[in-house]
Amino acid sequence: MLFTHKFLTFAYQKTNNNLDSMKTVQFREAICEAMSEEMRRDESIYLMGEEVAEYNGAYKASKGMLDEFGAKRVIDTPIAELGFAGIAIGSAMNGNRPIVEYMTFNFSLVGIDQIINNAAKIRQMSGGQFNCPIVFRGPTASAGQLGATHSQAFENWFANTPGLKVIVPSNPYDAKGLLKAAIRDDDPVIFMESEQMYGDKMEIPEGEYIIPIGVADIKREGTDVTIVSFGKIIKEAYKAADELAKDNISVEIIDLRTVRPMDHAAILTSVKKTNRLVVLEEAWPFASVASEITYRIQNEAFDYLDAPIKRITTADAPAPYSPVLFEKWLPNAQDVIKAVKEVMYI
């Protein structure tokens, strides 16, 4: 799928870059470029994970990196997430800047003790003597018929933890700029991708660019209703907006890009303009990111709302394997259209 980005310069930090010089890359290539550029710049950065080296990455997101950087900086690990997460955190405390790839964030649960109890807390628990500049990255959420244990979204889990930053890009341009920012950050960052986006194509600048963490992006301007989303599920919002435009309903779409820290100001400004809010998220409803957004907006912009906030999530059940049930479980454009019409009382 080829994306066009109407707001290419939004939140754009230019570094020796010519915006007129563009190239088309896949999402996986944008990830690889970000890691490779940063590893050329800083020798303390290295990549480790299952199949990242000899196999060029489970999703070919590290293709060619072993050849360029060697086995000391692109490291294949055993199937032992708890172990290599701990090793990476220890090395980060001693001056390195590791990138840890999980084949899927479902597998991060094996190493979540290291992430939550060590990476996220070491700066505070050491009284500022240690920081932990580390990126944990890999695919999140569903990718088709992979069953309940391989189709989970844990953005809200990690975002619930003070000390962690959580990024979920939705396109190659954002992915590259945000990953470079994450690698340079002195705190632990959870960087969540999607198996179903690795082949997505988009034009990005030839030169280096960085997107600041914590800045949302208005992907589509509108006046009637605000839709807030992030990650691959935002594509359903785009489809819905196109259909709703046929009925003269103007939709504003905000891509969070960063779940924590969240750009509450961008959402608040948009809701004050449109007076209606729909939140689309590929996660279970209880204690979701949508729940946090809903609370903040009703608390800070209640008098601006012309309708109750609607949230769209997956069904409150493990992801089914059956394609028929899976289709019902996962949010889609029709769900978004229905929610928008409900907040507009149509």
Whether 37 is catalytic is no
- Measured distance between the N- and C-terminal CA atoms of the chain, rounded to whole angstroms: 32
Residue 204, amino acid: I
Q: Of the listed 150, 193, 208, 236, which one is catalytic?
A: 150
Measured CA to CA in angstroms, residue 341 lies from 224, 244, 250, 314 at distances of 11, 9, 12, 19
Q: Where are the alpha helices (DSSP H) in the chain?
A: 27-41, 65-69, 81-93, 112-114, 122-125, 155-159, 172-184, 234-245, 264-274, 289-300, 323-329, 333-343
Relative to beta strand 2-3, strand 13-15 is: unpaired
Dist CA 185 CA 211 (whole Å): 12
Spatial separation of the C-alpha atoms in residues 307 and 237, rounded to whole Å? 19
The one catalytic residue among 38, 50, 81, 155: 81
- Of 176, 166, 110, 163, nearest to 136 by C-alpha is 166
* CA pair distance 32, 199, nearest whole angstrom: 13
Facing residues of 202 across strands? 3, 25
| Torsion of the alpha carbons at 61, 232, 219 and 26, rounded to the nearest 10 | 30
150 among known catalytic residues: yes
CB under 8 Å to 223, separation ≥6 — which residues?
250, 252, 273, 274
Structure tokens at 292: 């946090």
Whether the CB-CB separation of 143 and 195 falls below 8 Å is answered with: yes
3-state secondary structure 282-343: CCCCCCCHHHHHHHHHHHHCHHHCCCCCEEECCCCCCCCCCHHHHHHHCCCHHHHHHHHHHH
List active site positions. Answer: 81, 150
